[in-house]
Amino acid sequence: MNYEPLYSDTAKRMRSSEIRELLELSQRPDVISFAGGLPNPDSFPIDDVRRILNKVLDEQGSRALQYGPTEGIKEFREVIAEFVSKDGIDASTENVLITSGSQQALDIISKIFLDKGDVIIVGLPTYLGGINSFLAYQASLEGVPVDENGMNVDMLVEKIEELRKKGKRIKMIYTIPTFQNPAGVEMSEERRKRLVEISEEYEIPVLEDDPYGKLRFEGEPLKPIKAFDDNGNTIYMATFSKILSPGIRLAYVVASKELIRKMVIAKQSMDLCTSTLTQLLGYHYIKEGYVDKQLPKIIDMYRKKRDLMLAAMEKYFPRECKWTKPRGGMFIWVECPEEVSTVEMFDEAVKNKVAYIQGRAFYVNGGGQNTMRLNFTNAQDEQIEEGIRRLGEVIRKRVK
């Protein structure tokens, strides 16, 4: 059977993420990879998970293996509302939707908001999984530069004005304000507050994606954008992928009740509900203080890896390169001089047995040819210096 003529327009538009293909190359056992965005498996609390799952199966096995409500089980939504309130977000149970990973939340939000040609404003650079979700619903993506203080809000206003003049319908501003993927930077409190004002002034919702906020190595915690928003214009999402494990596929959205109801309808046709078993796991993980026990261990592990990588970069990267020094999260962003194309350099890097992600994948309007994203959480400590030494050697050859 030739399936080609049968595919939907949506399927025809879909393209395999270039990252996915690059990742395959970088997974060769002899390659030191800074490419994937994977947590370190040593950070998974396997014994705690076993203990919690045994308890859940002993005490409420039938329920754990049954379908649950689409919005998520009640006690877990309650616990999430309490959990986010510690960060200054005012939420009750009805404001919470449990999803199967925050990638599903991105898909649900795209599904309920986007028609062909609708504009989403994103950071330059921004998370590729977000870009792909929006594109699947035929959105038109517009970028606003991100610097060391996050998305440039003055340029955001200019962009909104410019797009409105052209008669464009702007549906959302998508941002990852804390330890951004891919750049590792934090949006300042001033910009967070200004973003809330802009959202109100122009009546454009903000989609705040916060997978890394809890992975802070130093500095005072910054409140999420949603904590500054009294009008329900911000849709907040976070995930268990980086504070427990990505394999359990558990995340949550906090938004107005009305929006949650709409999202529930969209989710129904995707998977009926998120796994009841993993929701009960997530519930106990938070309720019984496991998250407070595990987070400091993850943070210590990742801080050490970040320090190893930054120290190696100081030693081996040419002076002409610039890079971010993230206070948390999982990524360092590198800007090489203009003449260094990280796209052209990639094969040579893999030959030299080191891999990264080409920065251009995170730019919606082209550009970023001389940039790259380095993940510091997944490699073994002893591989980090050697990997950076190999990468430095490849870059150095191309710097004029």
Ligand X SMILES: Cc1ncc(COP(=O)(O)O)c(C=O)c1O
Q: What count of residues does the chain have?
A: 400
Q: Which is nearer to ligand X, 340 or 372 (CB)?
A: 372
Q: Which is nearer to ligand X, 18 or 386 (CB)?
A: 18
Q: Which is nearer to ligand X, 19 or 198 (CB)?
A: 19
State in angstroms the smallest separation of the CB of 385 from ligand X: 25
Q: Which is nearer to ligand X, 70 or 100 (CB)?
A: 100
User: Can the peptide bond before residue 182 be classed as cis, meaning omega within 30 degrees of 0?
Assistant: yes
54: helix, strand or coil:
helix
Q: Which of 160, 169, 168, 107 is nearest to 135 (CA)?
A: 107
Phi-psi region of 108 (alpha: psi -120 to 50; beta: other; left: phi over 0): alpha
Q: Which is nearer to ligand X, 103 or 140 (CB)?
A: 103
State in angstroms the smallest separation of the CB of 181 from ligand X: 4
Q: Which is nearer to ligand X, 45 or 211 (CB)?
A: 211
Give φ, ψ of 380 to 5 degrees. -70, 150
Residue 182 and residue 199 in contact, taking contact as beta carbons nearer than 8 Å: no
State in angstroms the smallest separation of the CB of 22 from ligand X: 15
Residue 83 and residue 232 in contact, taking contact as beta carbons nearer than 8 Å: no
Q: Which is nearer to ligand X, 252 or 316 (CB)?
A: 252
Structure tokens at 187: 């949006």
C-alpha 80/C-alpha 174 separation (Å) is 22
Give φ, ψ of 174 to 5 degrees. -100, 125
Q: What does the binding site for ligand X look like in residue numbers (CB under 6 A)?
A: 37, 101-103, 127, 129, 176, 181, 209, 211, 239, 241, 246, 251
State in angstroms the smallest separation of the CB of 37 from ligand X: 5
177: helix, strand or coil:
coil
C-alpha 90/C-alpha 88 separation (Å) is 6
State in angstroms the smallest separation of the CB of 249 from ligand X: 7
Structure tokens at 300: 């210590």
Q: Which is nearer to ligand X, 171 or 242 (CB)?
A: 242
Q: Which of 363, 346, 343, 367 is nearest to 355 (CA)?
A: 346
C-alpha 108/C-alpha 98 separation (Å) is 12
Structure tokens at 229: 């928003």
State in angstroms the smallest separation of the CB of 36 from ligand X: 9
State in angstroms the smallest separation of the CB of 392 from ligand X: 26
Q: Which is nearer to ligand X, 101 or 125 (CB)?
A: 101
Q: Which is nearer to ligand X, 195 or 312 (CB)?
A: 195
The strand ranges marked E within the chain are 32-33, 96-99, 119-124, 140-147, 150-151, 170-175, 206-209, 234-239, 251-254, 322-323, 331-335, 354-355, 357-358, 371-375
State in angstroms the smallest separation of the CB of 178 from ligand X: 10
State in angstroms the smallest separation of the CB of 216 from ligand X: 16
State in angstroms the smallest separation of the CB of 261 from ligand X: 22
C-alpha 312/C-alpha 378 separation (Å) is 16
Residue sitting closest to ligand X (CB):
101
